[in-house]
A = this chain, B = another copy of it.
Amino acid sequence: MRASLKTINPISAISLWTFSSQLQDFSQPNPSWSPEMRKFYDHYNAQCDTDTETYENKTGPWRKLPSYNRSIKHATGGIYISKLIQAKARLFTRSVNEQGATFEYVAFFNKEEKICICLFQPGHLLEGAPGHVHGGAIATMIDTVTGTLAGYLSGPSVTANLNINYRSPVPLGSVVIIHCALDRIEGRKTFITCKVTSTDESKVYTEATVLFVSIKLGSLFG
């Protein structure tokens, strides 16, 4: 079964990007971004369906996805799940405040194509092998971006399988593009493919397939 656009549900309590005008969007450009990061941001931002600054409608295939530091803050549907609200808890990829130190990224969603792309600039606190990004930090970004795409296409979902082939180590301080695409939907299962490349796409650093299973919110909330 292919997901119809009707099933796209951008507002879910477990979406990694929740929506609220009162929250800071951590995916806006900041001074730590390299000229290359900024250049590719401008490239995709110019092709969006909404102006990031004015919220006015434009014509374009992409939508910039805001990114907050809580996965749940204002639960939708009026449900206040007190036992899950831990005041200090922060989304892993947005939990360090220092700009440029860890995960600098911005994602764009193309609903026609059922794809997501993410510009990722890994900071100096993500080191694994000397001078290179930790495999776990790459896995974290793959899980995050593919999970966002799965959430948009199939609603609230959890990661069931993450299978990553590391082709080449990613140098700290580089900018890479994470490309995610819907492979197929089978019942509650959503299969997403993912590729991490250099910005000119000539070099493939990582390839992955990720399986998500859609859930009822109650199953997480006990």
* Residues of A that sit less than 8 Å from B by CB: 13-14, 16, 70-72, 81, 83-86, 88-93, 95-96, 101-102, 124-132, 134-137, 139-144, 147, 158-166, 169, 172, 220-221
Q: Name 4 extra pairs, CB < 8 A, besides A95-B126, A139-B143.
A: A14-B129, A92-B128, A135-B139, A160-B166
Hey, which chain B residues are within 8 Å of A16, CB to CB? 128
Hey, which chain B residues are within 8 Å of A126, CB to CB? 92, 95
A139 touches B162 (CB 8 A): yes
Name the one of B140, B161, B169, B220 contacting A220, with C-beta atoms under 8 angstroms: B169
Q: How many copies does the complex hold?
A: 2
B159 touches A71 (CB 8 A): no
Closest B-chain residue to A209, C-beta based? B163
Check A92/B125 contact, CB under 8 A, given A158-B166, A160-B166, A163-B161: yes
Cα–Cα, bound, A90→B147 (Å): 27
Check A136/B93 contact, CB under 8 A, given A130-B81, A130-B84: yes
Distance in Å: Cβ of A126 to nearest Cβ of chain B: 5
B166 touches A163 (CB 8 A): no
A90 touches B166 (CB 8 A): no
Distance in Å: Cβ of A164 to nearest Cβ of chain B: 5
Hey, which chain B residues are within 8 Å of A137, CB to CB? 92, 136, 140
Q: Please, could you name 18 A-B residue pairs with CB atoms under 8 Å apart, sorted by A?
A: A16-B128, A81-B130, A83-B131, A84-B130, A86-B131, A86-B172, A89-B124, A89-B127, A90-B124, A92-B126, A95-B126, A96-B96, A131-B220, A135-B143, A135-B159, A139-B140, A162-B162, A169-B220
